[in-house]
Structure 1
Amino acid sequence: MAKVLLFGAERAFFSDSTPQALRHLLNNALCAKTPDAVEALLLEARECWPEEPDTHIGLYKFLFVNKRYSEAEAAVWAALRSASRQLGIDRNYRRLKVNSADWSKRQGAERLYLFSLKALGVIRLRRARVGQARSVLSKLLELDPYDEIGGGVFLQIARSFDEDNDR
């Protein structure tokens, strides 16, 4: 049951540079038997490794699946702050440009940042903040023009709300 609530069956961390002790804790969360146990382990990871984007990503995925969207959004912001610190870029995604970082990297803080930006857009859609979702997802596609992260589909959904209002 915890696997469905957390990440899926593959692995509980997303970066190749995740510290070994954090990997162990996140993998324990992946195997935990109850949602409360999963959450407790994820909160422990966040407390011990607040600078690691993986701690926040695991938490926001868990919170999103459990429909705790406000808390999930707060965890996304923490992931974005963490990744932006690692990259040495502005933490305000609105100010970022294609040349702010090497967004084409398939590993590292760049990828985690883009992934978290997509999560922010999806969570805002779930919270019925369509205009804000559209803004985030538009920025994501500006930084990820080949849509490797998969935000384009969600941007189309956000734009469809405008089309519905035009009818």
Structure 2
Amino acid sequence: METIMRIRRIKSALIILLAALWSASCLPRRANVEPTVDVIGTTAAQLASVILTQTAGAPTPTPPPPTNTPPPSFTDTPAYSPTPAVTSIPKISGNAACYEGPGSQYALVSNLQDTEEVIVIGIGSVPGWYVIENPYYGSMCWVETKYLTFDPTFDPSILPTMPPP
């Protein structure tokens, strides 16, 4: 049985080989064509060779003498940090919404509970809003003035005015 399978495989291979040879013999014959010279490529290669030869033989430039200039001194740029400017801790009165900006058109960050203590970061440039540190997430959010209760000694002039995001 194995021998019959081998004979069939050999026959199949011979038939495929003969078919390939026969189809190749039917192709049109190519005329003897002289290879064309790539004038542009040859010229470019010769030019590159000349340039590299001239560059290799050129004298190397002398580096300038070192100067004794001191390195630049860096000054610290003050960065905004949400540090509280108020000495007394204000509290939320009522259930207040805390937004990403001054108004309900901004995304709601969280709801604040009655008597929750908050850190005021600044006064919003939009009247009626304060910027506080969200007690739940530590991020900044905006709350309406009517929901904040301040100590009577509170001075809003010590807070920076903050524009909406």
Whether the TM-score (by the shorter chain) exceeds 0.5 is: no
What TM-score do you get using the length of structure 2 for normalisation?
A: 0.24
How does the TM-score come out when normalised to structure 1?
0.23
Greater per-residue strand proportion = 2
